[in-house]
Structure 1
Amino acid sequence: MLLTTLFISLLAFASHASAVSWYFLRYYPASGEQFTSFSGEMTIPPLPQAATYYLWPGLQPTDNSGVYQNVLDGRSGTWWIGSGWCCSNPSLPWGSGFNTYAGEKVTFENKLDSSGSTWTSTLTRESTGETVTDSFALGSKSFNQALFAIELYDVSWDFGPLAFSNVVITSTGTDSSWCNTSPENYNSATTYSITGLSASATGGTVTCNLDSVILEKPA
């Protein structure tokens, strides 16, 4: 189920009650603007055990009806990453993905096409060149939240830092001030660092570049 400020990945539905812990950073664009792309690299952390770890970058729309995300999933005991929309309104099949391992880097790119009707996600495992691409009919959604998230069920944050690099977020509009502002740190729960920030606005597009975003540990 998706709440106004909290969201649960599609993979998280289970038949028993679970204790969930959330750690996330969230950017909002300027009023009236919306995100049009979100890309970067995720460094894969160690996986201490088979458990319900969901680590992801993602976009959430103004109506809080779901979340469009690239999810690193630790349930099998081997990391698997794939893209999808959680969870209904609309109901869409989950995308394809692949296994990945500690120390590897996976690039993610989520982009609205020129027609404004479809978002396309591309994931690449840099060590092998393996790539998967999926498209999602989400053009009707106005995405105004960009998130770096850790979502844990009945397990602690025991895998170390979660690091993103070479992050680029674009939005419509001309006001780039949102990029120069610290992101929301949900419940002040996360110790984090951001380096190499720069912002520009040209031709009705705002571009936010972040050399690194690291969710270091629980605060």
Structure 2
Amino acid sequence: MHCSITPLILLVLALTSISHATAGAVFIFTYGGKITRFQATLHVPSPPTALQGHGPDWKVQATWAGMQPTDQSCVLQNVVGNAGEEVGHWSHVPSFYDGVTKPSWREVYFEEVQLEVYPGDEITSTWTLDETSNKWLDTWSVMPGKIGTSKGEVPYGGNYTFDGSKFDPKVPDMAEVLLMIEHVGIGGGPDPGWGSGAVTFTNILIESVSTQDWCNHENSET
């Protein structure tokens, strides 16, 4: 009996930095591959210029690294956003957003308290997939900059194990990386725009397992 095994392709992508983005997003696709590890360091930008407020009318300003499946139905993300009660303050919000959860969309926060972070802080986020259990370990560490240090901030970190099988429908494999600047008005709130200057991501690492050859012209996803 003839048996053929297609070799797996391990993709490792390391980038020095992505910077000077003013709005929108950088998408990194793995051409059908399943991401097994993703890491990025976000350099916290200048303070937000709007207050997020309370629902249903939000004015969101945020920047974050995260991952989503091919159908873009949900996002694993470690967000730096303008939550809080005063304008000009960033909060660190590790979380999961699911837009197709039954009976309605759902957002899960990985920390009970959303700690304040400061311009110049470096936040390193690492997502590692346990391929046996299919659970994600989301790990983050915050290194204070000059402003944070002057406010009494000290280095700290945390982690959360995310189990996508507990959702209905079950969370698909992650296949796309996102490096985002987000500004949006939700409900009746106007778009607050983006006034926090450049955003820089460094030390970007992506590991993905695939059976597809991304440089093959016959691959429709290339």
* Range into which the TM-score falls when normalised by the shorter chain: 0.5 to 0.7
- The root-mean-square deviation of aligned C-alpha atoms, in Å, is 2.4
2:67 aligned with 1:59, yes or no?
Answer: yes
Number of the residue aligned with 2:173: 142
| Partners of 1:36 and 1:112 within 8 A in 2 | yes
Please give the alpha-carbon distance, in whole angstroms, between the structure 1 residues aligned to 2:97 and 2:23. 16
> Closer, same or farther in 2 for the Cα pair 1:30/1:88, shift >3 Å?
closer
| Partners of 2:48 and 2:90 within 8 A in 1 | no
Question: Which residues in structure 2 correspond to 1:197-212 (within 5 Å)?
Answer: none
Please give the alpha-carbon distance, in whole angstroms, between the structure 1 residues aligned to 2:158 and 2:74. 22
Cα deviations by residue, 1:165-214 (Å, 9 ceiling, x for unpaired): 11111101376858xxxxxxxxxxxxxxxxxxxxxxxxxxxxxxxxxxxx
| Partners of 1:82 and 1:123 within 8 A in 2 | no
Residue type of the partner of 1:95?
A: F
Number of the residue aligned with 1:108: 125
Secondary structure at the counterpart of residue 175 of structure 2: strand
| Partners of 2:97 and 2:108 within 8 A in 1 | no
Q: How far 1:83 sits from its partner (Å)? A: 1.4
Please give the alpha-carbon distance, in whole angstroms, between the structure 1 residues aligned to 2:74 and 2:48. 29
Number of the residue aligned with 2:79: 71
2:25 aligned with 1:24, yes or no?
Answer: yes
Q: How far 1:147 sits from its partner (Å)? A: 0.6
Residue type of the partner of 2:43?
A: T
Residue type of the partner of 1:165?
A: T
Q: How far 1:116 sits from its partner (Å)? A: 4.0
The structure, 1 or 2, with the larger RCO (C-alpha pairs under 8 Å, 6+ apart) is 2
Please give the alpha-carbon distance, in whole angstroms, between the structure 2 residues aligned to 1:69 and 1:155. 21
Alignment counterpart, residue 85 of structure 1, candidates 78, 96, 108 = 96
Alignment counterpart, residue 159 of structure 1, candidates 192, 196, 219 = 196
Please give the alpha-carbon distance, in whole angstroms, between the structure 1 residues aligned to 2:205 and 2:116. 24
Number of the residue aligned with 2:205: 168
Please give the alpha-carbon distance, in whole angstroms, between the structure 2 residues aligned to 1:48 and 1:118. 33
Cα deviations by residue, 1:132-180 (Å, 9 ceiling, x for unpaired): 21111126521111111111022122111110011111101376858xx
Number of the residue aligned with 2:42: 42
| Partners of 1:27 and 1:145 within 8 A in 2 | yes
| Partners of 2:137 and 2:160 within 8 A in 1 | yes
> Closer, same or farther in 2 for the Cα pair 1:92/1:102, shift >3 Å?
closer
User: TM-score, normalised on structure 1?
Assistant: 0.64
> Closer, same or farther in 2 for the Cα pair 1:104/1:142, shift >3 Å?
same
Gapped regions of structure 2 (runs ≥ 5): 1-21, 52-59, 145-153, 166-170, 185-190, 216-222
| Partners of 1:92 and 1:136 within 8 A in 2 | no
Q: How far 1:124 sits from its partner (Å)? A: 1.0
Residue type of the partner of 1:130?
A: Y
Cα deviations by residue, 1:10-52 (Å, 9 ceiling, x for unpaired): xxxxxxxxxxx96001011133x11111112110001143432
User: TM-score, normalised on structure 2?
Assistant: 0.63
Q: How far 1:130 sits from its partner (Å)? A: 1.0
Number of the residue aligned with 2:188: none
Count of residues paired in the alignment: 157
> Closer, same or farther in 2 for the Cα pair 1:46/1:92, shift >3 Å?
closer
